[in-house]
A and B are shown apart, each in its own frame.
Chain A
Amino acid sequence: MTTASMPVEAESYNFAYLDEQTKRMLRRAILKALAVPGYQVPFASREMPMPYGWGTGGVQVSAACLVPEDRLKVIDQGADDTTNAVSIRKFFQRTAGVAVTEATTEASLIQTRHRIPETPLTEDQILVYQVPIPEPLRFLEPRETETRRMHALEEYGLMHVKLYEDIARHGEITNSYAWPVMAHDRYVMTPSPIPKFDNPKLSDSPAVQLFGAGREARIHALPPYTKVVSLDFEDHPFVASKADHECEICGSRESYLDEVITDDQGGRMFVCSDTDFCGSRSAALETERS
């Protein structure tokens, strides 16, 4: 992407890239999705100036939500400084001129790929997820006409067949990411490929949670304080597990860890995947000490 030096008010782009028609269409889809938690609402996905797989669904949802007063945070795998996060953040700086931040507590809208921030969210925040495959039943039933019918009629036996197959084959449910959930006791949905460690944070969250799938042109959502239950079996219950280590930077035992390779001799260490959380915690510890 080239960074235009033109001011935002210039005619080159509407506020936050999308024209008003498209925004209205997207906002309608978002409102509908919020009204029916977990239900996948089709929308007319637009070409975005980035390839699919780079979060075009999330970007469209964010663009439809952003207002000039917003402060935007973008994370990829918990980090603000990956190529994907940086380019999306720059895109909105350029097309919406919104303020940006890396601090979870300061952001009013957070677009994310693969994580929910460790710092608890508030009622003043919107969390936008980038979703590659919005249909959790796809694995066993490729026909969309059938999966839509299954959702409509609440026929979710097949979802458990998938979990059964996992246990039969691997001794446990192997989804460490994208563990399917039941939203508001009604729709089975995918939380996007967040680690299962994050699943409990989906439930009863004060923030608005929006899920955008660009290539598949679907939006689903969780309004604040929605009950979200991770699917499981009585005798193979869902466990929100993480690596059994502490962060080697901030010492947290509670946050989700990435295993980072430190050299080419096979050295490795565990650090928080949420870089803002890790940084804030380290800084706070530093202040305490001095």
Chain B
Amino acid sequence: MDGAEMNIYAKVKEAGPLLSVRGLSKFYGSRIGCADVSFDLFPGEVLGIVGESGSGKSTLLSCLAGHQAPDEGGIVFDGRDMFAMAEPERRRLARSEQAFVHQSPRDGLRMGVSAGGNIGERLMAVGGRNYGAIRETALDWLGRVEIDGARIDDRPSAFSGGMQQRLQIARNLVTAPRLVFMDEPTGGLDVSVQARLLDLLRGLVRDLGLSVVLVTHDLAVVRLLAHRLMVMKSGHVVEQGLTDQVLDDPQHGYTQLLVSSVLQV
């Protein structure tokens, strides 16, 4: 991250965290999913979560997004206790102020619905009832994720993997959420396609001032996108700090192994 961005980062920090997580644990029987995770995420900040396979990244993310109930701990989003909230309100938040980008576009798109309908769904879910306006917004978003507007009535099944993933991103960002969860958003894509998607994501995150919790096993992805980094091992956070610091000067033995690529992640 360059100096200018660091300044913005310092400024937004004064506003207080958008997401506060304390002592979050999730067990699968006697097995640890994630244990005692605490962090704050500030507006406009991208938090990367890295760790080898099975370290608890997806478990943590799904608890944060409300897809699973944790066994212990608390989550406060924008001053609101997520667990004191009734399910309708939590789901309303989840489709307006929050978003979730899945690794597989199939999990995050409606494959039987046109690109325009996919982007429009969240708008309609929050009360959009003007067809022309929904369509215009969908066209605008197709442009922003570099999909030809002429494809608006095509189904995602006719799209390439990279296009599908960009469509999933547009579908999620259309309601201008403040917090976006991403689980390996570039996983499963060719390297060149990955690079383009990362560029695009980077631009969107900056332009929209998004806060992001980004799970990946790819250190190159966090190096490019994440302001801050959390390293997980066996469900526990073993190290966290500014991305460059953690990657260039890892303190924990496990992080050192991760960075030196000794570990197969």
Smallest CB separation, B69 vs chain A (Å)? 16
Smallest CB separation, A180 vs chain B (Å)? 13
Smallest CB separation, B140 vs chain A (Å)? 16
Q: Which residues 219-261 of A sit at the B interface, judged by CB distance below 8 A? A: 232-236
B153 touches A168 (CB 8 A): yes
User: Which A residue sits closest to B86, measured CB to CB?
Assistant: A153
CB neighbours of B116 from chain A (8 A): 164, 168
CB neighbours of B87 from chain A (8 A): 153
A-B contacts counted at CB < 8 A amount to 59
A235 touches B131 (CB 8 A): yes
Return the CB mask of A135-170 against B: 1 if under 8 Å, else 0: 000001000000000000111111011001101110
The stretch that binds A, out of B1-9, B15-23, B119-127, is B119-127
CB neighbours of A165 from chain B (8 A): 113-114, 117
Smallest CB separation, A26 vs chain B (Å)? 31
Distance, CA A260 to CA B130, complexed state (A): 38
Distance, CA A121 to CA B212, complexed state (A): 58
Smallest CB separation, A207 vs chain B (Å)? 30
Say yes or no: is B143 at the interface (Cβ < 8 Å to chain A): no
A164 touches B112 (CB 8 A): no
CB neighbours of A236 from chain B (8 A): 131
A140 touches B88 (CB 8 A): no
CB neighbours of A153 from chain B (8 A): 87-88, 91
Distance, CA A161 to CA B152, complexed state (A): 14
A164 touches B129 (CB 8 A): no
Smallest CB separation, A188 vs chain B (Å)? 12
Smallest CB separation, A269 vs chain B (Å)? 36
B129 touches A160 (CB 8 A): yes
Smallest CB separation, A203 vs chain B (Å)? 19
User: Which A residue sits closest to B118, measured CB to CB?
Assistant: A161
B120 touches A164 (CB 8 A): yes
User: Which B residue sits closest to A167, measured CB to CB?
Assistant: B131
CB neighbours of A160 from chain B (8 A): 124, 128-129
The verdict on A164 contacting B88 (CB below 8 Å), with A140-B112, A157-B124 known, is no
User: Which A residue sits closest to B134, measured CB to CB?
Assistant: A164
Distance, CA A31 to CA B12, complexed state (A): 56
Return the CB mask of A168-197 against B: 1 if under 8 Å, else 0: 110000000000000000000000000000
Interface centre among A155, A156, A160, A234 (most CB of B within 10 A): A160
A168 touches B121 (CB 8 A): no
B132 touches A157 (CB 8 A): no
Distance, CA A235 to CA B130, complexed state (A): 6
CB neighbours of B223 from chain A (8 A): none
CB neighbours of A235 from chain B (8 A): 130-132
Can you name 5 A-B residue pairings with CB atoms under 8 Å?
A140-B110, A160-B128, A164-B120, A233-B131, A236-B131
Q: Besides the contacts A160-B124, A232-B129, A235-B130, what 8 more A-B pairs have beta carbons closer than 8 Å?
A: A156-B125, A157-B124, A158-B125, A160-B128, A165-B113, A168-B117, A233-B130, A233-B131
